[in-house]
A and B are shown apart, each in its own frame.
Chain A
Amino acid sequence: QKEVEQNSGPLSVPEGAIASLNCTYSDRGSQSFFWYRQYSGKSPELIMFIYSNGDKEDGRFTAQLNKASQYVSLLIRDSQPSDSATYLCAVPMEYGNKLVFGAGTILRVKS
């Protein structure tokens, strides 16, 4: 059974700072990784996915994957109060097109 671990937080950062969210996974064979953002009372929305080792950048968001160490990170540059949300990491299961979700990290950006 795959496991995905995230620090529940809350992670508090000042406005304009870099927020760093981390996720570790148990299955060394995992090939793809997803980051979702969930505002309070709303459904999760996909932010980024990453398949290859290294960094993937999309606007203020950067996903970093290190397969050897089995962790994936999400960096948010120039954090804004509107980034305050719960961030979920997800990894596909080996069969059945299913995702295993971490419990999520609460991010609070203070103005």
Chain B
Amino acid sequence: SQTIHQWPATLVQPVGSPLSLECTVEGTSNPNLYWYRQAAGRGLQLLFYSVGIGQISSEVPQNLSASRPQDRQFILSSKKLLLSDSGFYLCAWTGTGHTDTQYFGPGTRLTVL
């Protein structure tokens, strides 16, 4: 069966520090991968998605970037965090039964102080 992992689970970072969040998927190959952010009490905002290695589409211009160095690995990065980057970061992948069905990882809660 397929499993999606995210780490770290929680993170507290000072303003201006770098960021690296990692997402990996097991049990499938060539998945579509997605990064979302959910601010406190808000809906899901799609940040990036990828249909293959090295292929990244950005949905919202900001100080975040994403990379996909391996088929089942998706990384979210920032060189300098802002207070507004605080939130719940979710990685998702599309299932094999229907390409639109997305399954979410456990998430990373980021607090920028």
B2 vs chain A, min Cβ distance (A) = 12
Residues of B within 8 A of A103 (CB): 42-43
Q: Which residues of chain A are within 8 angstroms of B102 by Cβ–Cβ distance?
A: 34, 46, 90, 99
Interface residues in A27-45 by Cβ distance below 8 A to B read: 32, 34, 36, 41-45
Complex contact B104–A49 (CB within 8 A): no
A107 to B85, CA, bound (A): 28
Interface residue SS majority, chain B: strand
Given known pairs A102-B43, A104-B43, the reply for A97 and B94 (CB within 8 Å) is: yes
Check A42–B107 contact: CB distance below 8 A: yes
B-facing residues in A7-61 (Cβ within 8 Å): 32, 34, 36, 41-46, 49
Chain B residues with CB under 8 Å of A32's CB are 98, 100
Chain B interface size band reads 20 to 34
Max chain A CB contacts within 10 Å: which of B34, B51, B102, B103? B102
A-B contact pairs, 20 of them (CB 8 A): A34-B102, A36-B104, A42-B106, A43-B106, A44-B44, A44-B90, A44-B104, A46-B102, A46-B103, A49-B98, A90-B102, A92-B100, A97-B32, A97-B49, A99-B100, A101-B44, A102-B43, A103-B42, A103-B43, A104-B43
